[in-house]
Amino acid sequence: MTHLFSSAGARLALVEQEDSSADQILFGKNNNHGQCYSQCTARRIAKNKEENGVSEKEAEALGEKSPSEKEASAADYSNFILTYDEAPGYLKFNPYIRSGYRGFLTTKMCIESIFWWTNETVNIWSHIFGWMLFLGLTLYDLILLNIHASALDKLIVGLLLLCFQACMILSSAYHTFSCKSEKAYSCFLTYDLCGIALSILAIYMSGVYYAFWCYSEWQQFYLLTVCLIFALAMALQYPAFQVDSHTKMLVFVGWAAYGVVPTIHWVIMMGGWQNPIVVLLLPRVLGMYAIVSLAFAIYITRIPERFVPGWVDYVGSSHQWWHVIIVGAFYYWHNTGIKYVEYRMNHGCANDLRF
């Protein structure tokens, strides 16, 4: 994990170095990004010509502005919104989303674009609101909620919600800055995957901690295994390994599927449906798997845009549904954890033994 953050930090430094030449990148002088700028400029010239009734030369003078003026005029952000065909190649991973792209913006304009209406707006704001939700739950659970739990129990809940917040923030950052450059895209994608890994780790650690609360040896064993898989998932993000995105995704899917093992073990140890805690919590665990599976299926199949290309570019695309469902899944798991804590506070370990 240390290697991951060292690498990510180095890549972020490279991204920051790009800011000094951001105008050159954005405005397409002597580089391969010129086409994006030319398209935006041509669109701006045509718009000036149409609205102001001026000559081609005068329209070009109106369309061509200094870099500072161009950023200042970004309020008319429609000039910077691209179609799929105009978008940078590294952003063209979903051919069913036909419009609403941004391309090669400066850092300042990336931040401003949070308030633009693009095909990333819902992705950005869904997880900004998600971060606000889990921040509020953190304050409520640790300060206001009157549960007489131990300090370690509160630490587990706090870490769970902190990881959820990190996932939300890193996801929003990725969708905000991915349009800056290909290097920025790669860098922030690494951070996004790190946030996903942290959230999976937090879900596992909280589940294993409470499920095997009365069986410390098994608790330690499963905590160790999930941490090792987490370390593997993080190591695969290290650029030197040159692991393709498909393999990275398979590791995450395998990691999620691994949760079936401790779940079945826990059910057997608890004596199956004869134990009230199994009746209470197993349906919620299965519900969590169902919710996440639904989100993943929508994400992979690219439904609904696969059937209506261009119709859900701004609202209703598969990635947006993925975001919303994941926020719901995290909230659902948080409530499951609260139910488990309440049960433990009232019953302890005595009712768990069903051998």
Q: Over the stretch 282-324, which tens digit does the pLDDT of each residue have?
A: 999 999 999 999 999 999 999 999 999 999 999 999 999 999 9
Q: Which of 2-6, 14-18, 92-96, 346-350 has the highest mean pLDDT?
A: 92-96
- Residue 70 in any domain: the answer is yes
For the residues 143-161, what does the mean pLDDT come to?
80
Note down the domain range covering 336: 117-352
* Tally of helices (H runs) and strands (E runs) in the chain: 14, 0
Structure-block tokens of residue 236: 């695969």
From 26-35, 39-48, 213-222, 226-235, the region with the lowest mean pLDDT? 26-35
Q: Which residues pair with 82 in a beta bridge?
A: 101
**C-alpha–C-alpha distance, residues 326 and 348, integer Å:** 31
Are 32 and 181 a contacting pair, CB within 8 Å? no
Say what percent of the chain tops pLDDT 70: 75
The CATH number assigned to the domain holding 147 equals 1.20.1070
* Per-residue model confidence as pLDDT tens digits over 259-281: 999 999 999 999 999 999 999 99
Answer yes or no: pTM beyond 0.85: no
pLDDT in the model for residue 239: 77
Which of 71, 94, 114 corresponds to the end of one domain?
114
Does the pLDDT value for residue 6 go beyond 60?
no
* Per-residue model confidence as pLDDT tens digits over 127-138: 999 999 999 999
Q: Are residues 195 and 288 in the same domain?
A: yes
- Residue 50 in any domain: the answer is yes
Q: Are residues 75 and 135 in the same domain?
A: no
Are 318 and 301 a contacting pair, CB within 8 Å? yes
> 119-124 long-range contacts, Cβ below 8 Å, gap at least 24?
119/313, 119/314, 119/317, 120/175, 120/176, 120/178, 120/179, 121/314, 122/314, 122/315, 122/317, 122/320, 122/323, 123/171, 123/172, 123/175, 123/319, 123/320, 123/323, 124/172, 124/175, 124/176
Name the residue with tokens 């650690």.
205
- Residue 136 in any domain: the answer is yes
State how far the alpha carbon of 51 is from the alpha carbons of 12, 71, 255, in Å.
42, 21, 56
Q: Are residues 148 and 64 in the same domain?
A: no
- Residue 241 in any domain: the answer is yes
Q: Are residues 57 and 164 in the same domain?
A: no
The number of C-alpha atoms within 13 Å of 317 and in the hemisphere containing its C-beta is: 23
Is 334 annotated as a binding-site member? Answer: no
- Residue 300 in any domain: the answer is yes
Q: Are residues 32 and 127 in the same domain?
A: no
**C-alpha–C-alpha distance, residues 25 and 183, integer Å:** 12
Which of 55, 79, 114 corresponds to the end of one domain?
114
Is 323 annotated as a binding-site member? Answer: yes
Are 177 and 107 a contacting pair, CB within 8 Å? yes
Q: Are residues 128 and 213 in the same domain?
A: yes
Does the pLDDT value for residue 119 go beyond 90?
yes
Q: Are residues 196 and 294 in the same domain?
A: yes
- Residue 3 in any domain: the answer is no
pLDDT in the model for residue 91: 96
Are 88 and 33 a contacting pair, CB within 8 Å? yes
pLDDT in the model for residue 350: 53
Q: Are residues 221 and 345 in the same domain?
A: yes
Q: Are residues 124 and 100 in the same domain?
A: no
pLDDT in the model for residue 250: 83
**C-alpha–C-alpha distance, residues 23 and 25, integer Å:** 5
Choice between 115 and 76, residue whose per-residue pLDDT is larger: 115
Q: Are residues 240 and 124 in the same domain?
A: yes
Tally of domains in the chain: 2
**C-alpha–C-alpha distance, residues 202 and 355, integer Å:** 30
Is 33 annotated as a binding-site member? Answer: no
For the residues 19-36, what does the mean pLDDT come to?
43
- Residue 57 in any domain: the answer is yes
Say what percent of the chain tops pLDDT 90: 56
Radius of gyration of the chain (CA): 24
Q: Are residues 264 and 193 in the same domain?
A: yes
For the residues 336-348, what does the mean pLDDT come to?
84
- Residue 14 in any domain: the answer is no
Which of 63, 85, 114 corresponds to the end of one domain?
114
Name the residue with tokens 């707006």.
121
Q: Are residues 130 and 263 in the same domain?
A: yes
